[in-house]
């Protein structure tokens, strides 16, 4: 499965030559971004405050493919304060890396992409801390969405709550049929707090999105492929995409990425999220 994800990323990377404009370091002023450096000309290392997020350059790639790897097995890659800081720093580093053509987000944990927010940690927070966390999570995913290179979420296993919201912030989602996705927050008497209520309808339409959000039901990778949440990944699919679809991207990339965030469906989520912060007090 990982080989399939890499094949797609390489195909995109070979076509994408447009450099992204670096974002200001003040974007994440509340957390700050530590220095990152090249360990060698093949591997990019982010010296992050979080050990659960790793930023690497694919060792066998000449296509400018960077990988953000989630690595918190004891919590099924649940996003807590520490991981969130790591994600912020990783996305900032990608934005400022001029040789980057493609970003792929994946997991080092078998059968897990991301289980969502760390609810155990959230129970220890006071309301103001929860509000700050949810706001920062939302802005981090919006920052990911605004990156000026193609972004791919490689989903193997579970992607729930904030994990699915992060994947939906990417341009492309690739998953296997054994993937399990959902926004189960309503089962906890809360709502998706990091963009799921806006991005899911844009992907699958209002009716299907309401069904998934209101019921909190989980969907398989196969179902996700059929309704448009993800592209289901098969070896034949990868071969077909590499040979027919991605070679057509070059004349479109400069235009599509110039206007990627100009349309109504890509306006900042702050324009459409006006919900009380207490709605996200126990889940994400």
| Cβ-based neighbour number of residue 274 at 10 Å | 6
Q: Is there a domain that residue 266 lies in? A: no
Q: Is there a domain that residue 58 lies in? A: yes
pTM: 0.73
Q: Is there a domain that residue 98 lies in? A: yes
Question: Alpha helices, DSSP H only, in 22-151?
Answer: 81-96, 119-122, 127-146
| Domain coverage including residue 156 | 2-259
pLDDT in tens, the chain (284 residues): 554 555 555 555 444 444 434 444 444 444 333 333 333 333 644 555 578 899 888 765 556 788 899 999 999 999 999 999 999 999 999 998 887 888 889 898 998 999 988 989 988 999 999 889 999 999 999 999 999 888 988 888 899 989 999 999 999 888 887 888 888 888 877 778 788 888 888 888 888 888 888 888 898 888 888 787 776 665 444 334 433 334 444 444 545 555 555 554 445 555 445 444 545 555 45
Instruction: Identify whether the C-beta of residue 86 lies closer than 8 Å to the C-beta of residue 53.
Output: yes
How many structural domains compose the chain?
Answer: 1
CATH value at residue 244: 3.90.226.10
Q: What are the catalytic residues?
A: 117, 162, 165, 185
Sign of torsion over alpha carbons 183, 167, 140, 146:
negative
Q: Is there a domain that residue 265 lies in? A: no
Instruction: Identify whether the C-beta of residue 85 lies closer than 8 Å to the C-beta of residue 33.
Output: no
Q: Is there a domain that residue 24 lies in? A: yes
CA distance 95 to 25: 10
Q: Is there a domain that residue 48 lies in? A: yes
Q: Is there a domain that residue 271 lies in? A: no
CA distance 151 to 148: 9
Q: Is there a domain that residue 195 lies in? A: yes
For 117, which DSSP code?
B
């Amino acid at each position: 499965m990982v080989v399939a994800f890499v094949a797609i990323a390489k195909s995109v990377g070979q076509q994408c030559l447009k450099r992204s404009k670096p974002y200001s370091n003040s974007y994440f002023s509340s957390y700050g971004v530590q220095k990152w450096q090249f360990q060698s000309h093949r591997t990019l290392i982010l010296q992050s405050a979080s050990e659960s997020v790793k930023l690497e350059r694919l060792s066998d790639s000449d296509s400018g493919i960077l990988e953000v790897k989630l690595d918190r097995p004891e919590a099924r890659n649940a996003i807590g304060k520490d991981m969130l800081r790591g994600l912020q720093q990783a996305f900032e580093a990608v934005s400022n890396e001029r040789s980057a053509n493609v970003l792929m987000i994946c997991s080092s944990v078998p059968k897990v992409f991301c289980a969502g927010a760390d609810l155990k940690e959230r129970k220890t927070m006071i309301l103001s801390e929860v509000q700050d966390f949810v706001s920062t999570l939302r802005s981090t995913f919006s920052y990911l969405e605004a990156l000026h290179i193609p972004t791919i979420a490689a989903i193997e296993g579970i992607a729930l709550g904030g994990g699915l919201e992060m994947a939906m912030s990417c341009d492309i989602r690739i998953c296997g049929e054994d993937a399990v996705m959902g926004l189960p927050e309503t089962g906890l008497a809360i709502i998706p707090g990091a963009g799921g209520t806006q991005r899911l309808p844009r992907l699958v339409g209002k009716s299907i999105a309401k069904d998934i959000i209101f019921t909190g039901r989980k969907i398989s990778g196969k179902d996700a492929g059929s309704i448009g949440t993800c592209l289901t990944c098969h070896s034949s699919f990868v071969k077909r995409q590499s040979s027919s679809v991605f070679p057509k991207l070059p004349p479109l990339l400069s235009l599509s990425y110039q206007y990627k965030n100009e349309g109504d469906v890509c306006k900042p989520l702050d324009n459409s999220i006006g919900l009380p912060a207490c709605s996200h007090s126990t889940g994400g």
